[in-house]
Amino acid sequence: MIGEVSLFGLYMPPLLLLMLPALLVSRVLGSLLARAGFYRLVWHPALFDLSLFVIVLGSLAHFASNWS
């Protein structure tokens, strides 16, 4: 992964830029799982949502580092 990304003259870490797509993907996955009734099996839904976000963010970062 590269060190910094210049966004309109503001240097930002690439992981911060990957957080927005990861949030969108995890929200879509969470709504699909809620519609399927999966959250009835989950002990702590907020903790599950956080772990889903971390997994999606980690996989996006992994694919972004292999892509460049």
pLDDT in tens, 24-54: 999 999 999 999 999 999 999 999 999 999 9
DSSP 4-41: -EEETTEEE-HHHHHHHHHHHHHHHHHHHHHHTTGGGS
The answer on pLDDT for 17 being more than 70 is yes
Residue 24 has a pLDDT of: 98
Instruction: Name residue, tokens 């690439």.
Output: 14
**Can you give the residue ranges of every domain in the chain?**
5-67
Average pLDDT value for residue range 1-9: 76
60's enclosing H/E stretch is helix 45-67
The one-letter amino acid code at 15 reads: L
Instruction: Name residue, tokens 């003259």.
Output: 9
Residue 1 has a pLDDT of: 53
Residue 67 has a pLDDT of: 72
